[in-house]
Structure 1
Amino acid sequence: MITIDAMMVCLDLSDIDEKLVAFSRSICERLEVRKVYFVHNIKLYELADDFREMIGDLDLGKEVEGNIADIVAEQFGNITDHEILVSEEPNTEVILADIVKRYGIKLTLLGKKMGDKSTGALGTKLLRILPCSVLVFPETASFNIRKVLVPIDFSDTSLHAVRLSKELSDQLGLELEIMHVYRLPTQFFPLISEEEAVRKAVEVVKRKFADLQKRHREMADIPYTLVRAANRSIAERIALHLEKGHHDLLVLGLKGNNPLPSLSLGSVPTEVYNSDIDVPLWLVYSEEAIRK
């Protein structure tokens, strides 16, 4: 059974907050979550001087906490133990990473605005710096999750994502699919035909899947799909397969244990995050991958 000792929900006082808090309730209704922290950081230095003058001696932190408390009361209720944390620090990423370590956060819930409404810069920074798994909830996503897609590259990282997804699917009765995107070694064209190259590539990948299923019997009954990248990126192929298969959740493994946090996220998760997919994206670290 998947148990989350502590979950952090990052709020930004925008319209997406209500959806994010409601989605956190949906998670708590389906999984065992022992405590939820609703957090917001006020960047006082970003406030205009005229606004500072207007609020005067008003305790902005108290006001923000009260606003969040109203949303939590309406959208979350008392389904599980929870706490509201409001800080006033210059660097949001640093204070959130500190909260993760201080309270033993295992999962962070992060909202994502679509299209031109957000650059996604803060979200990308958080994905790189937070020492925990992150569940990204787009503003257009649905709470109703029935089908899960897990792209793999046969690394330990992606296998951890499969194991978590399998456990999640068994626990909640979800439909699970594995996919692998492969590329052809085009440097050998025209020495061999494209048709022959495709046949060879599929043979190799199928052998990898057969070996994987032998070593991990729990994965033997999970259906898998092979997709050729062709003229698109791996992230683009993942997004197209998500839409085609009507999946409701995408799970990707993240690499960890890297002294340079900016190198730990990986190009595919970064591109997927920055695309306009409209399903929740669960980016998972294994416990062993996270530096303590």
Structure 2
Amino acid sequence: MITIDAMMVCLDLSDVDEKLVAFSRSICERLEVRKVYFVHNIRLYELGDDFQELIGEVDLRKEVEGNITEIVAEQFGNITDHEILVREDPNTEVLLADLVKRYNVQLTLLGKKMSDKGAGTLGTKLLRILPCSVLVFPEAASFHLRKVLVPIDFTDTTIHILRFSKALADQLHLQLEIMHVYRLPTQFFPLISEKEAVRKAVQLVNGKFADLQRRYQEIAGVPYALVRAANKSIGERIALHLEKGGHDLLVLGLRGNSPLPMLNLGSVPSEIYSSDINVPLWLVYAEEAVRR
């Protein structure tokens, strides 16, 4: 059973906040979440001297806290224990990473606007620096989860991500599908037969998956899709399969080989985050990797 001792919800006072808070309620209704922290950082240095003079004696921190309190009361209620944290720090990424460590946050919830509304650079930085799993909620995403897609790469993170995804699917009564995207060494064509190369690659990957099923019986009956990257990146193939399959949630594992989580994001999660997928993206760290 998946239990979240502490979850942090990052708010930026944009239109996404109400959806994000409502989604956090949906999570608490379906998973055991013991404490939720709603966090906003006021970056006064971005306001400029003129605007700060306009504010005058207004207690901006109190006003922001009041605004968030109203949203939380309307969209979240008292479904579980929660706290509103408003800070004034010049470095939002470092502040949030410190809060994760201070409150032992296991999951951070981030909102994400479409790419035409911003570059999303803060979100990318947070994905690299936060020492916990991250759930990204795009502004066009739905709260209703029915199907979850889990791409794997047969690295050390594969077993953890499969076990987590299976437990999540069982707990939320979701349909679970596993996929793997493979590439062929096209630089050797036509020296070798492309047809034979595809056959060999499929045979090899199916063998790896069959071995996983033998060793971990909990995934024995889970559907599995094998997709060739061909002329697209792995991230693009995942996004296409996600849309084609009508999935409502994408789960990706984050690397745990380095003691610094900021070095472990990986190219595929980074590419997926930067794209305009319209389903929540759950980026999962193995707990033992975070504790190092």
Higher alpha-carbon deviation: 111-120 or 88-97: 111-120
Aligned: 1:32 with 2:32: yes
Shift of 1:115: 2.2
CA distance in 2 between partners of 1:274 and 1:32 (Å): 30
Provide the secondary structure at the position in 1 that maps to 2:225: strand
Alpha-carbon contact 1:182-1:226 (below 8 Å) kept: yes
**Over residues 80-117 of structure 1, what are the superposed CA-to-partner deviations in whole Å (9 max), with x where a residue is unaligned?**
00000000000000000000000000000000000210
Q: For 1:119-134, what aligned pairs fall within 5 Å after superposition?
A: 119-134=119-134
Give the counterpart letter for 2:212 in structure 1.
L
User: 2:136 matched to which residue of 1?
Assistant: 136
Provide the secondary structure at the position in 1 that maps to 2:157: helix
Shift of 1:263: 2.5
Alpha-carbon contact 1:133-1:284 (below 8 Å) kept: yes
User: 2:92 matched to which residue of 1?
Assistant: 92
Give the counterpart letter for 1:180 in structure 2.
H
Q: In structure 2, do the counterparts of structure 1 residues 88 and 257 end up closer, same or farther at CA, with 3 Å as the change threshold?
A: farther
Alpha-carbon contact 2:259-2:289 (below 8 Å) kept: no
Provide the secondary structure at the position in 1 that maps to 2:270: helix
User: 2:234 matched to which residue of 1?
Assistant: 234
Shift of 1:161: 1.5
Provide the secondary structure at the position in 1 that maps to 2:184: coil
Q: For 1:1-292, what aligned pairs fall within 5 Å after superposition?
A: 1-292=1-292
Q: Following TM superposition, where does structure 1 have runs of at least 4 consecutive aligned residues deviating by more than 2 angstroms? A: 259-263
CA distance in 1 between partners of 2:240 and 2:30 (Å): 28
Higher alpha-carbon deviation: 223-232 or 256-265: 256-265
Alpha-carbon contact 1:37-1:84 (below 8 Å) kept: yes
Alpha-carbon contact 2:22-2:75 (below 8 Å) kept: yes
Higher alpha-carbon deviation: 161-170 or 21-30: 161-170
**Over residues 130-188 of structure 1, what are the superposed CA-to-partner deviations in whole Å (9 max), with x where a residue is unaligned?**
00000000000000000000000011213211111100111121100000000012233
Shift of 1:58: 1.4
**Over residues 237-278 of structure 1, what are the superposed CA-to-partner deviations in whole Å (9 max), with x where a residue is unaligned?**
000000000000000000135255443100000000000000
CA distance in 1 between partners of 2:89 and 2:69 (Å): 20
Provide the secondary structure at the position in 2 that maps to 1:37: strand
Higher alpha-carbon deviation: 45-54 or 255-264: 255-264
Shift of 1:19: 0.1
Alpha-carbon contact 1:110-1:135 (below 8 Å) kept: yes
**TM-score when normalising by structure 1:** 0.98
**Over residues 214-254 of structure 1, what are the superposed CA-to-partner deviations in whole Å (9 max), with x where a residue is unaligned?**
11111111110000000000000000000000000000000
CA distance in 1 between partners of 2:216 and 2:161 (Å): 13
CA distance in 2 between partners of 1:157 and 1:85 (Å): 33
CA distance in 1 between partners of 2:155 and 2:146 (Å): 26
**TM-score when normalising by structure 2:** 0.98
Give the counterpart letter for 1:290 in structure 2.
V
Structure 1: give runs of 5+ residues left out of the alignment. Answer: none
CA distance in 2 between partners of 1:148 and 1:76 (Å): 24
The count of corresponding residues between Structure 1 and Structure 2 is 292
Q: CA RMSD in A?
A: 1.0
CA distance in 1 between partners of 2:238 and 2:199 (Å): 21
Alpha-carbon contact 1:253-1:283 (below 8 Å) kept: yes
Shift of 1:193: 1.2
CA distance in 2 between partners of 1:158 and 1:250 (Å): 15
Alpha-carbon contact 1:256-1:291 (below 8 Å) kept: no
CA distance in 1 between partners of 2:271 and 2:88 (Å): 31
Alpha-carbon contact 1:257-1:291 (below 8 Å) kept: no
**Over residues 178-225 of structure 1, what are the superposed CA-to-partner deviations in whole Å (9 max), with x where a residue is unaligned?**
000000122332222111111010000010011111111111111100
Matched-pair identity in %:
79
CA distance in 2 between partners of 1:205 and 1:258 (Å): 26
CA distance in 2 between partners of 1:159 and 1:55 (Å): 53
